[in-house]
Chains A and B, each alone.
Chain A
Amino acid sequence: MKELWLTPTALPSIPVEAEVICPDVVAGRTLKDVSSLEVYVGNKTHILGEFFEVEGELAEQASEQMIVVDGTCQTVKYIGAKMTAGSVHVKGCAGMHAGSQMSGGEMLVEGNTRDWAGAEMSGGLLRIQDDSRNMTGGAYRGSPEGMTGGCIVVEGDAGVELGSFMRRGMIVVKGDVAPFCGVHMNGGEIFIMGQAARRLGAEAKGNGGFIACLGGVDEILPTYVHETTYKPTFMKLYMRQLRDVLGLEEAARFLETPFRRYVGDLAVGGNCEILVAEK
């Protein structure tokens, strides 16, 4: 992998929209080209080089390209959005829509992300090492499909409506999750290792989707019914995946844990599962 280094210099208070910080966009260009890629600040057009020092190497193919953003960029929107391959590594925080609609490749954010991180993602891996805010892996307004594939790992806490309208893919949150996690969910898996706030799985239809609460849950909706407590074999597969593929060692603790199985949301005739690990 060839590394392109972008070091933020003076970021304005108005957010910079920089969907060009994406392996697909920079690959095959020269450093000079990259430096003069257009970014948007409010109603004005600027170039990337005004806000970032551009160094490093460029690959021919996106899949060979790594972009390192060496600093914190809370006000830079759309980093890694729509990427299909390659890798983006933000050594700080990232602004709204980080990794949104990405379909491949890997993105790592060392700090936190703002709203809509990984929204409508269809593939690839997005790892946030701190908190992510609302609508992580969610659907944009009006869309009946949120995440349709890929994996998001949030090592901190996550905001409301995590994985809304989720259809496929996987989200893992090491910390706590705010209300309405997995709302309108219709497939896919969500793992919450911290505390899950109430109203998770609201109006979820199911279609194989489930929410696993490993760290406890505030309250289960009254339109979910408790079925049984058992040790699901399939959960072992996931726990091993979390441990072995994603390096989340804590998952190993749940290999033999019994889970309380809830099914709902009966308000929509759904068969989504909420699986709560017994303490």
Chain B
Amino acid sequence: MMSFEYNGVEIEDTFAEGFAMWGTRIIITAKNRKWANIAAAEMTGFATSVIACDCEAAVEREIPPEETPDGRPGVAVMMFGFSKKRLSAPMLNRIGQCVLTCPTTAIFNGIPEEEADDMLDVGASLRFFGDGYQVKMRMGDGWQESQRYWRIPVMEGEFLAEAKFGAKKAVAGGNFLIMGVDEDSTLEASERSIEAIHTVPGVITPFPGGLCRSGSKVGSKYAFLKASTNTPFCPTIKTSFPESQVPEGANCVIEVVLNGLDEPSVMKAMAVGIRAATEVPGVKRITAVNFGGKLGKFNLGLKEALEDA
């Protein structure tokens, strides 16, 4: 495989294979940062990969009070699902179980209608939790952009939820693999990578801490298994696995996986992530995972990403 050098690190001239998903952004606010973060953490729990989770979700960023609709500390959470329906169902469940239940929180749409490809009417179902005592709140009718909220009475007070959330045709499956000489340098590079990625709006990294150490490939020798460990990149079987792709001198590989609202954001996030990784000594090579373009419609080339950035 062709490769090129970037910041002294070998980058394979390959591409990450992104695929289409629907993505949304929810802004959770609360009385203080603590409760906003707790709600966000709960809501994005167990949402790493649609292989076995109902959706992919993660915190995009924390939002300072000045920028939230109600002036309280906020967190932007993004969620991705394979269709509008498979996005709104987990949204409803997770908002219902993790945010509605969490003291002092409120939720707001994070993708304005003019930027969205569609609006998901989560409030239409969520409101029923009010058992008839929910109140429809309208703002701006006839003189500003019309906004709709539901006010649902809860024991602690009132849960305020915006009725509709913008959804976009988004890109999931952005990734790159960092291969380092040892665990310390690889982990360090990966963490820096994630930090950098979080500076790019519209992108999340749904795996633990943004990182996936296992990787995965489609299928397995066991017929009942949909996916299994990414054998070509496992250093411990570097020799015994015939087509291993772990380079000489590399003893640890960590995958960075990211989803974004659009292709440019994902590309940009990959670029800043890769660049941050290359700055850590001990990183041997960086590559990306794809399936020959059979799985997803986005070919997110590493070279293009770095060149554009």
**How far, in angstroms, from A148 to B146 measured CA to CA in the complex?**
13
Q: Give 18 new A-B contacts, CB below 8 A, not counting A230-B157, A232-B160, A233-B157.
A: A123-B142, A148-B142, A168-B141, A170-B139, A170-B143, A187-B138, A207-B136, A208-B136, A233-B29, A233-B72, A233-B158, A234-B160, A236-B71, A237-B70, A240-B69, A241-B144, A255-B71, A273-B135
Contact B138 A240 (CB under 8 A): no
Contact A233 B106 (CB under 8 A): yes
Pick the residue among B136, B138, B140, B143 that contacts A124 (CB under 8 A).
B143
Could you list some 11 contacts between A and B, CB below 8 A?
A: A121-B142, A124-B143, A207-B136, A232-B157, A232-B160, A233-B157, A236-B70, A237-B139, A237-B160, A241-B144, A273-B135
Chain B residues engaging chain A, CB cutoff 8 angstroms: 29, 69-72, 104, 106, 135-144, 149, 151, 157-158, 160
**How far, in angstroms, from A236 to B104 measured CA to CA in the complex?**
13
Asked whether any CB of chain B lies closer than 8 Å to the CB of A94, the reply is no
Asked whether any CB of chain B lies closer than 8 Å to the CB of A122, the reply is yes
Contact B160 A125 (CB under 8 A): no
B110 CB → nearest A CB, Å = 15
Contact A240 B70 (CB under 8 A): yes
CB contact under 8 A between A168 and B160, given known A233-B70, A236-B70: no
B66 CB → nearest A CB, Å = 11
**How far, in angstroms, from A245 to B144 measured CA to CA in the complex?**
9
Contact A151 B151 (CB under 8 A): no
- Write the chain A residue with the least CB distance to B149: A234
Chain B residue contacts of A207, Cβ below 8 A = 136
CB contact under 8 A between A240 and B143, given known A234-B137, A234-B160: no
1/0 contact trace for A228-252 toward B, CB 8 Å?
A: 0011111011101100010000000
B237 CB → nearest A CB, Å = 54
CB contact under 8 A between A234 and B143, given known A208-B135, A208-B136: no
**How far, in angstroms, from A148 to B160 measured CA to CA in the complex?**
24
- Write the chain B residue with the least CB distance to A238: B139
Asked whether any CB of chain B lies closer than 8 Å to the CB of A86, the reply is no
1/0 contact trace for A89-107 toward B, CB 8 Å?
A: 0000000000000011000
- Write the chain A residue with the least CB distance to B105: A233
CB contact under 8 A between A208 and B138, given known A150-B143, A230-B158: yes
A248 CB → nearest B CB, Å = 15
Chain A residue contacts of B138, Cβ below 8 A = 168, 187-189, 208
A155 CB → nearest B CB, Å = 17
Chain A residue contacts of B71, Cβ below 8 A = 236, 240, 255
Asked whether any CB of chain B lies closer than 8 Å to the CB of A149, the reply is yes
Asked whether any CB of chain B lies closer than 8 Å to the CB of A111, the reply is no
Contact A237 B69 (CB under 8 A): yes
Contact B158 A169 (CB under 8 A): no
**How far, in angstroms, from A233 to B160 measured CA to CA in the complex?**
7
**How far, in angstroms, from A232 to B137 measured CA to CA in the complex?**
12
Contact B158 A168 (CB under 8 A): no
B47 CB → nearest A CB, Å = 26
Chain B residue contacts of A240, Cβ below 8 A = 69-71
1/0 contact trace for A136-164 toward B, CB 8 Å?
A: 00000000000011110000000000000
Contact A150 B142 (CB under 8 A): yes
Pick the residue among B141, B149, B151, B157 that contacts A169 (CB under 8 A).
B141
- Write the chain B residue with the least CB distance to A207: B136
Pick the residue among A169, A189, A208 that contacts B142 (CB under 8 A).
A169
Chain B residue contacts of A245, Cβ below 8 A = 144
* The 7 A-B residue pairs with the shortest CB-CB distance in the complex, in nearest-first order: A149-B142, A123-B142, A150-B142, A208-B136, A149-B141, A168-B141, A151-B143
Contact A236 B157 (CB under 8 A): no
Contact A208 B137 (CB under 8 A): yes
A69 CB → nearest B CB, Å = 21
**How far, in angstroms, from A141 to B219 measured CA to CA in the complex?**
73
**How far, in angstroms, from A231 to B141 measured CA to CA in the complex?**
24
Pick the residue among B70, B135, B141, B157 that contacts A150 (CB under 8 A).
B141
Chain B residue contacts of A149, Cβ below 8 A = 141-143
Chain B residue contacts of A150, Cβ below 8 A = 141-143
**How far, in angstroms, from A234 to B69 measured CA to CA in the complex?**
10
CB contact under 8 A between A168 and B139, given known A232-B158, A236-B70: no
**How far, in angstroms, from A188 to B139 measured CA to CA in the complex?**
8
Chain A residue contacts of B104, Cβ below 8 A = 233
1/0 contact trace for A77-91 toward B, CB 8 Å?
A: 000000000000000
Residues of A160-216 contacting chain B, CB below 8 A: 168-170, 187-189, 207-208
CB contact under 8 A between A234 and B141, given known A240-B70, A240-B71, A255-B71: no
